[in-house]
Amino acid sequence: MTTLKIGDQAPQFSGIDQDGKSRQLSDYKGKKLVVFFYPKASTPGCTAEACDLRDNFERFQANNYALLGVSADSAKAQAKFKDKYEFPFPLLADEDKSVINAFGVWGPKKFMGREYDGIHRTTFVIDENGIIEDVITAVKTKEHAGQILG
């Protein structure tokens, strides 16, 4: 599970977004980057979380933040999710879990009494120089922007 801590160098990730465009850490140099990992596109908790970030997007931009959502969904599922809710930020379709594993958010989970492996809802705030500034593991889906922006 998550071994990355505040003060660590963020992984030099690279992934494909909902439109097939490559996105990597270096694209965001000079900006703060919020990388939020969520279990599955279009599910209630993930929708609430992403919509809260969308509704506060101007506040993020005003504070020099870029946003990037990541799950193991297909590009098609991510595109549908992004279009339906009009997200102003890209969503990585990390089907091979290379970004998910680089950040250490894949692991055993429990839901309704059964155990399985999946993505742990975790958000990383990375500063302008690629250093992890915050790691949020207790994500409040309906007020996540407030957890990040304070």
Residue 51 in tokens? 């919509």
Which listed residue (46, 92, 93, 139) is catalytic? 46
Cα–Cα nearest to 105, from 124, 86, 89, 129: 124
Contact 91, 72 (CB under 8 A): no
Residue 21 phi/psi, 5-degree rounding, is: -90, 135
Q: At what angle do helices 75-85 and 44-55 cross, to 10 degrees?
A: 50
Cα–Cα nearest to 121, from 64, 43, 62: 43
Report the run of H or E that residue 141 belongs to, with start and end: none
Query: Is residue 46 annotated as a catalytic residue, yes or no?
Result: yes
What is the set of active-site residues? 46
